[in-house]
Amino acid sequence: MAAPSCRALLAACLVLQLATARGEGCSGFGNVFTEIPENSAHGSLVARLPAGGDAGGPALQLCLAGTDAAWFYLDGRSLRLNASAGRALDREELESPVLMVALTCAEDGFAPVEYRVIVQVLNENDNRPRFRGEPVLTHNVSELVAVHSVVFSTQAEDADGDLLMYVIDASSPDARFFRIDLPNSGRVVLARALDFESRQRLEVVVTAVEMNTKERFNTSARVRVNVLDGDDQYPRFLPCAPPDPPGVCISPVYTANVTEGELTGSPLRFSPGSIYAEDGDRGLRAAITYSLLAGEESARFHIDNATGAITLLRAVESSRRTPAISLSVMASQVNDATKYAVAVAVVRVLATNRHPPRFARPAVRAFVPAGAREAALVTTFGGHVLALRAHDPDFPE
């Protein structure tokens, strides 16, 4: 196959006329292996080509070609960097950290000779670490996560490939809740238990620091942790008495009245309010079912398992024999019957009121001494103090 002409090479390369030693020609060159730091200035020396001899030698034509040839130019026998403010030699932006250029040498009467120029671009610490994602990272963590377990990971990138170490900023509002598993892992471990009922959001700052550089560049990320409600609370009856200690709900005692021998057919009206319980996990609000615990008089009543409404099914015959009935009401979660609460409902039995009270006499005559002071005894005949008494047949005692 015929060798390309020098004229064809001139159309594709940067050309420079040089003189070389007599009889040496293009054979005085060879492959070049060198290196240059990234971000070097325009015109920085990359390599020096072999020195020439007498100026009377044959004329040579040197050409640079190849994909990476635009990064270089020839200055005499010096190979220099071709960079600019808008086109800096950035190792991280290159497809490969090794630049390869074909150096072609041509002289009259001889076939062109091609050599390789291989330039290793050296890395410099010119990039700071950077966390992946948004400036403020968000993680959702259940309050039921076990202490000492990994709850989330934060990963930073360093374009220079430097080794990173992660630390938690001790001045963060909620730094006490977390710790780093291993310094270079980025895994964050829960240091103390979470409680949705007391805190729904935590905030911590994680910093990534270069470990193997003198600059020790670092970057920080603010992490917001949303605490998710877990099913760790029991139902509670309302209204809840003032908690002491805080967080403890004391069930109320519900009271209602019925009349002996009577059935209304409608649910009883309790005080201080209707029988009602709710899930203590405010973020879950599990459905509640109601039931009556077995007792001597519980068969007289029916409770709606969805609403907690209690209805009297069989009338109470005598308020004297049964002045009150105490019921134990259980409220349990539909999805977990082992989570329940019990409250007391007291049904007081009232006597039937058939008669109004009556005085023993329809009229009474009494006397007050003349000239009496503001307070004086009212007397009847014989000087007895006046005493009024009434009688109710419904309450003979």
Cβ(341)–Cβ(234) below 8 Å: yes
Structure tokens at 200: 């729904």
With tokens 């270079």, the residue in question is 184
| Residue-level pLDDT at 242 | 63
Contacts of 16 (CB under 8 A, 6+ apart): 61, 62, 74, 76
Domains of the chain in sequence order: 6-122 (2.60.40.3430), 130-228 (2.60.40.60), 236-350 (2.60.40.60), 357-397 (no CATH)
| Residue-level pLDDT at 5 | 42
| Residue-level pLDDT at 340 | 94
| Residue-level pLDDT at 8 | 39
Q: Which class for 33: exposed (0-12), middle (13-18), buried (19 or more C-beta within 10 A)?
A: exposed
| Residue-level pLDDT at 14 | 45
Cβ(135)–Cβ(172) below 8 Å: no
| Residue-level pLDDT at 244 | 55
| Residue-level pLDDT at 254 | 97
| Residue-level pLDDT at 225 | 96
Q: What is the CB neighbour count within 10 angstroms for residue 71? A: 20
| Residue-level pLDDT at 135 | 76
Could you read off the pLDDT tens digit of each residue along the chain, which spans 397 residues? 344 444 434 433 444 445 444 446 677 788 899 999 988 889 899 998 875 444 445 577 888 999 999 999 998 888 999 988 788 898 888 888 999 999 988 887 788 889 999 999 988 888 889 998 777 899 999 999 999 999 999 999 998 888 999 999 999 999 999 999 999 999 999 999 999 988 999 999 999 999 888 889 999 999 999 999 998 889 999 998 665 556 677 889 999 999 999 998 899 999 999 999 999 888 889 999 999 999 888 999 999 999 999 999 999 999 889 999 999 999 999 999 999 999 999 999 998 877 888 888 888 888 888 876 777 888 888 788 888 888 888 777 7
Closest residue by Cα to residue 117 from 65, 82, 76:
65
| Residue-level pLDDT at 57 | 52
Measured between alpha carbons, how far is 36 from 46 in angstroms, rounded to an integer?
A: 6
| Residue-level pLDDT at 250 | 85
